[in-house]
Amino acid sequence: DVVMTQSPLSLPVTLGQPASISCRSSQSLVHSDGNTYLNWFHQRPGQSPRRLIYKVSNRDSGVPDRFSGSGSGTDFTLKISRVEAEDVGIYYCMQGTHWPPTFGQGTWVDIK
């Protein structure tokens, strides 16, 4: 299975400041169809995960533009330009290129 490795695993941030999470895969996530199926999810405590970003850099409907995704191949990043209180929770990267889809360990983002 493809191993997804996130860093850091814990990220205390100051409100209004930027935050960045790295995700690396053990294999290239470029599919034979040319797409790179790398998603980012956010899970608030006690809630189910919600997808924020799909195919590396596409924001889902309703996701604020302070969230952005980038990367290619095996190296990916989620950035929050200015952290707000509602952004606390766990962020997961997930690859869908290879079966089975696999997730990173999660990055816990909280407010300092």
Partner 1 sequence: EVQLVESGGALVQPGGSLRLSCAASGFTFSSYWMSWVRQAPGKGLEWVANIKEDGSLQNYVDSVKGRFTISRDNAKNSLYLQMNSPTAEDTAVYYCVRGGGRGVSDPWGQGTLVTVSS
> Which residues lie near partner 1 (CB under 8 A)?
31, 37, 39, 41, 48-51, 54, 60, 92, 94, 96-97, 99-106
CB of 99 vs partner 1, minimal distance in Å: 6
In the bound state with partner 1, the residue whose beta carbon lies nearer, of 17 and 58, is 58
In the bound state with partner 1, the residue whose beta carbon lies nearer, of 49 and 89, is 49
In the bound state with partner 1, the residue whose beta carbon lies nearer, of 48 and 85, is 48
CB 28 within 8 A of CB 34: no
CB of 79 vs partner 1, minimal distance in Å: 20
